[in-house]
Chain A
Amino acid sequence: MSAGAPERLVAVPVRHYGRWVSAVAVLAGLAAVVYAFSQAEIDYGTTGEFFTADNIVRGAGRTLLISVLAQAIGIALGVVFAVMRLSKNPVTSTVSWCYIWLFRGTPVLVQLLIWYNLALVFPTMFGHPTSDLMTPFVAALLGLGINEGAYMAEIVRAGIASVDEGQTEASQALGMTQGQTLRRVVLPQAMRVIIPPTGNEFINMLKTSSLAYTIQYGELLLSAVSVYTRNLQVIELLFTVSLWYLVLTSVFSIGQYYLERRFARGALRDLPATPLSRVLANLRGGPRI
C-alpha cells in the first residue's frame, strides 16, 4: 500500500444544478396557473354544492350504468368476433374483419347519431314504432357497446394469440374438445394479456359515454348542462362533472389493479403484496414488505 492512500475514499456524486433550475421553472408555471384560476370569476362553492345534488348524482349513476352495460356488450361481442376472426372458416373470419373495419373506422359520435335516428329509415321495427324502441338509452347502449366490440375483438384476438400453441396441443392430447380447450385453457391464460387494455377501454368508456349527451341520454354531462342552462354557472358545473369523472376513473383504476393480480396466478412465483396488506403488515410491526 502506498503511503498516501487514505483509509476510506469518499465518492462525490456529480451535482445536477440543471435539475434545480427546471424544478423551479415548473413550480413557477404551476403557481401561475393556480393563481389565475383562484383570481378567475369562478364560484367554487357552487362546484362543491352541486357535486352532491340529486340530479348530478343521478347523472353519474346513469354514466356508470351505461358504461358498465356497454362495456359488457363490447366484451361479449369482442370474444365472439375474435373467435370468428381466428376461425378457419373464411366467411366468418371475413365477416369479423368487416365488422372491425366498419365500427373502428367511423367515429362513435356518428354511430350514436345513426342509431338514434334510425326511425327515419325504419319507421317500425318488430311491429312497434322505432321511435318507441330506440330510446336515448337503447341508442346509446347499442352505439357505445357495438363500437366497443370492435376494439375488444382486437384485444381478445391478441390475447388468444399470445397463448402458446403447446397449451392447445396438450389440451387436445388429453381429449378435450375445441370448445373446452378455449374455455378452460386458452381464455383463462389470454385474460392476463386482455385485462390491462380492457381496463383502459372501460376507463375510456366512462368518459366516452358523455357523447350520449348529444342524443339526449341523461348521463352526467347532460345533467350538468341542464343545470347550467338555468343558472348560467357553466364552468362551475363543468368542474363538478370533471370531479365526478375523476372519482369514477380513480375507483376503477384501483379495481383494475386487483383484477390483474387475480389473473396473474401462475405467471408469477409469488404475487406482490397489495398496498393494503403492506400497510397492515407494517402496522402489526412485522418485517417490512
Chain B
Amino acid sequence: MSGLMVLAENVHKSFGRVEVLKGIDLEVRRGEVCCLLGPSGSGKSTFLRCINHLEKVDAGRLSVDGKLVGYRQQGDKLYELKERETAQARSEIGMVFQRFNLFPHMTALGNVVEAPIRVKGESKSAAADRARALLDRVGLADKVDAYPAQLSGGQQQRVAIARALAMQPKLMLFDEPTSALDPELVGDVLDVMRGLAEDGMTMVVVTHEMGFAREVGDTVVFMDGGVVVEQGDPKSVINNPQEERTKAFLGKVL
C-alpha cells in the first residue's frame, strides 16, 4: 500500500483560451491535511475539482489512491471512462462545497442517507442509523428532521460534511468551506474539520483561513496564476515565505 493518496503530475486545464492550470505537480500522503492557498483566480478550486473529475483535465495525470480518476491509460493516451465508472470512483472521494449545495427538498437526514442508499445500496434502516451517528458527530443530533432552509449556514455546511462522510470516503475535498459563512459560524465548521483531521482523514482543503492552515495543515501549497509557487511545512511557508508572490499575498491576508 503506497503512502500517496493524491498524485498530480503536470496537470493542465483551460477554459476556452484561458489556461487556468499550467502544469500542477502535487503529492498528498495518506492521512495528511493539505491546504491550498492563493489569491482568487489562481486555479486552486479548479484543481480541487479536477481531483474528482468534476472538471476534466486537458493534459497530465491525476490519481487518487493509485487509481486514475475518470480515465484509463493505454500507451501514452488517457481515455475518459464511462459515466458509471467515474461515478464509482467519485463515490470514494467526499466533497464539500463553498455554497453547501445541500438538497433543499430533503431533510438533513434525507441528505445524508441519499447516496448510501442509492449508490451503495445500503438498507434504509442501516443508512439512517449511520446518518444519525454522523449528524451527532457534527453536533446536529437535534436537527435530523430539519430542512436546509431551516438551518443556519454553519449548520448546513456541517450537514454537508456529514453527507460526504456517509459515503465513507478515503479522501475529503473542501472547496472554501467557510467562505460563505458569517464569521461567528466559521468556528463550528472548522472544529468539525479539525476533528476529522485528528481521526486521520486525508484532506485537501482550499481555504482562506490562515489560522486553520497553520494549525491543522500538514502541508500548505501556495498557488498563483495556475502554478504552484511554493509548498512545504505550514509554519515555514506562512511565517517565513521565500517567494515574492507568496509574501505579497500573505501580506494582504494576514
Contact = CB atoms under 8 A, between A and B. Distances in A.
B83 A177 contact: yes
Contact of B163 (A164, A172, A174): A174
Contacts of B167: 174-175
A109 to B, nearest CB: 39
Interface in A249-274: 265-269
B105 A175 contact: no
A189 interface: yes
B149 A269 contact: yes
A170 interface: yes
Nearest to A164: B101
Contacts, number: 75
Interface string B95-111: 10101011111100000
Given A184-B118, A188-B105, A266-B104, A174 B149 contact: no
A284 to B, nearest CB: 26
A174 B99 CA distance: 16
Contacts of B105: 188-189, 265-267
Interface in B37-65: 52, 54
Scoring B92, B115, B147, B163 by chain A CB atoms within 10 A of each residue's CB, the highest score goes to B115
A7 B8 CA distance: 79
A169 B95 CA distance: 10
Interface in A158-184: 164, 166-167, 169-178, 180, 184
Contacts of B91: 174-175
Contacts of A189: 103-105
Contact of A172 (B90, B99, B118, B148): B90
Interface residues of A, number: 23
A173 B103 contact: no
A268 B94 CA distance: 28
A268 B105 CA distance: 10
B218 interface: no
B172 to A, nearest CB: 11
A248 interface: no
A185 interface: yes
B185 interface: no
Given A166-B97, A268-B149, A174 B106 contact: no
Interface in A163-222: 164, 166-167, 169-178, 180, 184-185, 188-189
Interface string B159-201: 0100110010000000000000000000000000000000000
A265 B83 contact: no
B88 A175 contact: yes
Contacts of B88: 175
Contacts of B97: 166, 169-170
Nearest to B98: A166
Contacts of B150: 269
B115 A266 contact: no
Contact of B115 (A164, A169, A176, A188): A176
B64 to A, nearest CB: 13
A170 B107 CA distance: 16
B110 to A, nearest CB: 9
B114 A174 contact: yes
Nearest to B52: A173
A227 to B, nearest CB: 49
Given A169-B97, A175-B119, A176-B119, A267 B149 contact: yes
Contacts of A175: 87-88, 90-92, 115, 119, 167
A99 B14 CA distance: 36
Given A174-B114, A174-B167, A175-B88, A167 B119 contact: no
B77 interface: no
A167 B104 CA distance: 9
Nearest to A174: B115
Contacts of A169: 54, 97, 101
Scoring A173, A184, A268 by chain B CB atoms within 10 A of each residue's CB, the highest score goes to A173
Nearest to B118: A180
A170 B149 contact: no
Contacts of B87: 172, 175-177
A123 B101 CA distance: 56
B101 to A, nearest CB: 4
Contacts of A166: 97, 99, 101
A126 B170 CA distance: 57
B93 interface: yes
10 contacts: A167-B101, A170-B160, A172-B90, A175-B92, A175-B119, A180-B118, A180-B119, A188-B105, A267-B104, A269-B150
Given A174-B90, A176-B118, 9 more contacts: A169-B54, A174-B114, A174-B167, A175-B87, A176-B87, A184-B114, A185-B103, A189-B104, A266-B105
